[in-house]
Structure 1
């Protein structure tokens, strides 16, 4: 770690992940389902953006002006290059929080996002961020914050402490960070094997360490080896944010608030006793043993009346992004529950053309079959399941097309050499979708005018073969013949045509 890193892992690059909740447009649906007003978002900020994939995907796909900082200069350099490639005007810096948050050239923000970073920073930096939110989050603005949560981490926190201590005391200079992480994991397994009392009190702790060992090494370094790491009770976070004048609004994903898929009957009775009190979120975290929360907070939340709410819900636009036949009329979180076919079936029938539809138009078409609240609730659940995408206004869609095209072409081109980013961004949703490397090469073939799965397979095989690469069989062994490789690629291409291509076309990432 370097002196400027404040104990945060800085000699290992973070993963190239994308996080849907950092898309401010995705906050609209859960907030309207909660009955809350949503601000018009002109300026947005991400603190601790990692490699900047989310920030750049959103800056490319939205008319919102994005700002962000990550004190790791390698992260900032990568993010700036990506911003330049797609032609966005995002302001990206490598300043620490104290320097960035004290800048005098920043506007008020209608959205500020922090994904995970709250758990890995010092109390001094938490105070800086809370003050920044107080000064720079606009009235009515949204704060998205996610963090490691207690009590869910209580049983497994000793693993993190053990790994971090080993890395601090026993890591070998000059040895790769991958090997140091592996050494820490191996040492942790040996210690737990000789710790019967710990395993008695936390029976799943050894299994958890085995699961951790399967994860990305760079992710493990950032997740477990920082000097500061503080999982937090909801009430403690609320106390930290109280000076910022924000109040809890709802979860960033509605399924984390949809009680029917969260609680047993007895648990629901308990939740009913504390409903509407500050105790409710704490009881929820205990009942569900929450380890990670993704929450929306608002500065001056305003509840809409019935007329205002109907108007705001009615003008939202949605598009179905999965094959109609793949939508199951059930939802699973902690509990699996069925969904009302008399409401969901007609809604899905309208959406099955994979065109953009307004809520008001769907409601009108289903008059007498479902009321407006039921229609919007159905769309909210499908949105939370990532089966429909909310669509931004036409002006924003048209303005984003060129930047999205540049972003996506850059990602696809990088896939020839494996690349780092496996997400494509949409001018419709203002966000990104996950794709595999092979999917990216199929998408490139489609962009070149090839329309048959066999053609996509041949295009992809040419690229792999030129690099001495091959597909793997079900046992993880490389296929040796051209015929076998083409057969496997054709199989995947046919799956792509039936599944992923529908989403990419519906989101106008790919065109006919």
Structure 2
């Protein structure tokens, strides 16, 4: 019998994560700040969509036509169910890459996304994907690709290989993947305990193993135990993408572009002295000891003048993504925490605090009235976006067309939260993407949909769910014993929810 998995872990499912970088609406701000004209995304594709949470949130919350594949039939079936429930009509398949990429019913794409999968597949499959990008990504189209990279993974590569070798050679016959993972980690701990020279030279390995031991085992299986696994240097990725005519555009994580919080002045001077853009990124990865890249690549970059940049920025809409009180005038970077000047940020937050979408031109007007320069305002917008304090916002027409699809999807996801803690994101038709919503907030939102409108009624609703499963709350790490104490703690949390979170969720049209 042939191995349809091609060495990829398929007997246990991947996690139910959502990855905001896959949202095409995020491209515009990153591209404009990098001086590149962003595309208008109509058709999009995700290769290796896992459980399909990201794909389905983006399909339901926007007017983009989504396609994709994940060869694990269990995952594809769940993703198809979500698409059917929302009515987004995403075209999701369980084809292997070589099958999907040869389909004759696919359009040309404005956007193709791969999150993480590149690190875990064979060179044969990588070649299939590059050929697909060459043939099916439009001129001006964007590729989002994230992957493990060097030099940040360099010390861990031998230990990862040892873990995989132990799982392959030393486990009991018939042992399942989780059992093999646990046995391999136990052996690695035994190895570290005898203080081998490898660990003396790489003291960070013990902490990495401790983290692996605590991580979700479904994630660990896919991250460390596939047959094919390669943290790839940026220069090698660039060579892979050359036949598809791709140029690196910028990072999909806005904070990566804020040099002052990531690089020392000496590092930045060295990097800026390098004329070759590929080598410049390679050197930057060494300065940051980067182990994971999240990159946008573009097929035919069209450069913007400074005037074009400001005009295109003015035409973007943004919306608050967190409660106003949670926005701190600080930002964290590789070099530490940095204070932000309140006189620049307060005028912007005053406009944003109504939780309604606003054009960046409106923020500029408010900033200008307070004597804030254009460059300072542009920098502040980029930093607020990097912090997640503001999110991209769609047009009113797109929002209106997505509301009903999002409502159906979110209602289903929240109903599932009554029996699982794995679904922790809901869709917003305002942002075209997902938002992390804690478990109890999902319970409270369900209660709101049922007509509850007081802290006590929300708490009672949530307690019925918990009590039916013989569960209780924790306080200071210890279970709360009595029903009255559980209800009191839930009522306290529900009060905070009503005051701080519900207005935001309603403004983002999550319910």
TM-score bucket (shorter structure): over 0.9
| Partner Cα distance (2:68, 2:208) in 1 | 34
Preserved CA contact (<8 Å) 1:324 1:352 = yes
Q: Residue 13 of structure 2: SS of its match in structure 1? A: coil
State the distance in 1 between where 2:498 and 2:176 align.
41
Instruction: Please name the residue that 1:312 is paired with.
Output: 312
SS at match of 2:11: coil
392-401 or 268-277, which deviates more: 268-277
Q: Which stretch of the first structure deviates more once superposed, 146-155 or 484-493? A: 484-493
Task: Give 2:447's match in structure 1, choosing from 422, 445, 456.
Answer: 445
Q: Which residue pairs with 1:379 in the alignment?
A: 381
CA distance in 1 between counterparts of 2:506 and 2:150 reads: 41
Does the Cα contact within 8 Å between 1:101 and 1:128 map onto a contact in 2?
yes
Gaps of 5+ in 1: none
Q: Distance in 2 between matches of 1:436 and 1:173?
A: 40
5 Å matches for 1:252-263?
Answer: 252-263=252-263
Instruction: Please say if residues 117 and 147 of structure 1, whose CA atoms lie closer than 8 Å, have aligned partners that are also in contact.
Output: yes
Contact 2:189 2:209 survives alignment (8 Å): yes
| Partner deviation per Cα, 1:445-468 (whole Å, 9 max, x = no partner) | 122222222221111001211222
Per-residue deviation, 1:183: 1.3
Q: TM-score, normalised by structure 2?
A: 0.96
Shift of the 441–40 alpha-carbon distance from structure 1 to 2, 3 Å rule, reads same
1:102 maps to what in 2?
102
Q: Is the 8 Å Cα contact of residues 61 and 430 (structure 1) preserved in structure 2?
A: yes
Partner Cα separation in structure 2 for residue 478 and residue 329 of structure 1: 35
Deviates further, 171-180 or 231-240: 171-180
After superposition, the C-alpha distances for 1:88-143 in whole angstroms (9 at most, x for unaligned) are 11111111111111111111111100000000000011111111111111111110
- Report the CA distance shift for 1:492/1:171 in structure 2 as closer, same or farther (over 3 A): farther
Give the distance between the partners of 2:436 and 2:365, measured in 1 at CA: 34
Q: What is the SS of the residue equivalent to 1:243?
A: helix
What is the deviation of 1:182?
1.3
Matched, 1:505 2:509: no
Count of residue pairs the alignment pairs up: 509
CA–CA distance in structure 2, aligned partners of residues 459 and 275 of structure 1: 61
Instruction: Tell me what 1:188 maps to.
Output: 188
Does the CA contact (< 8 Å) of 2:348 and 2:366 recur in 1? no
Question: Any conservation in 1 of the 2:364–2:377 contact (CA below 8 Å)?
Answer: yes
CA 1:172/1:501 → structure 2, altered by over 3 Å: closer, same or farther? farther
TM-superposed deviation, 1:392? 0.7
Secondary structure at the aligned position of 2:4 is classed as helix
What corresponds to 1:249 in structure 2? 249
Q: CA deviation at 1:276?
A: 5.5
Q: Helix, strand or coil: the match of 2:113? A: strand
Q: 1:457 aligns with which of 459, 477, 485?
A: 459
The alignment yields a C-alpha RMSD, in angstroms, of 1.7
The alpha-carbon deviation at position 275 of structure 1 amounts to 5.7
Say which SS state the counterpart of residue 46 (structure 1) adopts: strand
Query: CA–CA distance in 2 between the matches of 1:387 and 1:343?
Result: 15
Map 1:228-247 → 2, pairs under 5 A: 228-247=228-247
Partner of 1:362: 363
What CA distance in whole angstroms lies between the structure 2 residues aligned with 1:306 and 1:272? Answer: 19
Q: Which residue of 2 aligns with 1:271?
A: 271
- Structure 1 stretches (4+) deviating beyond 4 angstroms? none
SS of residue matched to 2:487: helix
Q: Does 1:409 align with 2:418?
A: no
TM-score by length of 1: 0.96
Contact 1:245/1:299 (8 A) holds in 2: yes
Structure 2 residue matching 1:232: 3-state secondary structure = coil
What is the distance in 2 between the residues matched to 1:292 and 1:93?
Answer: 27
CA distance in 2 between counterparts of 1:419 and 1:367 reads 46
Q: Give me the whole-angstrom Cα distance separating, in 2, the residues matched to 1:172 and 1:505.
A: 53
Matching residue of 2:67: 67
Give 2:342's aligned residue. Answer: 341
> Quick one: structure 1 residues 153 and 403, their matched pair in 2 at CA, closer, same or farther if it must change by over 3 Å?
same
Q: 1:352 aligns to what?
A: 353
Deviation string 1:181-228 (CA, Å, 9 cap, x unpaired) is: 211111111122224201111011112101110000111111111000
Deviation at 1:39, TM superposition (A): 0.9
1:489 match:
490
Q: Distance in 2 between matches of 1:170 and 1:473?
A: 42
> What do the CA deviations read for 1:418-473 (whole angstroms, capped 9, x no partner)?
26422110000000011222111011112222222222111100121122221123
The worse-fitting range, judged by mean Cα deviation, of 239-248 and 430-439 is 430-439
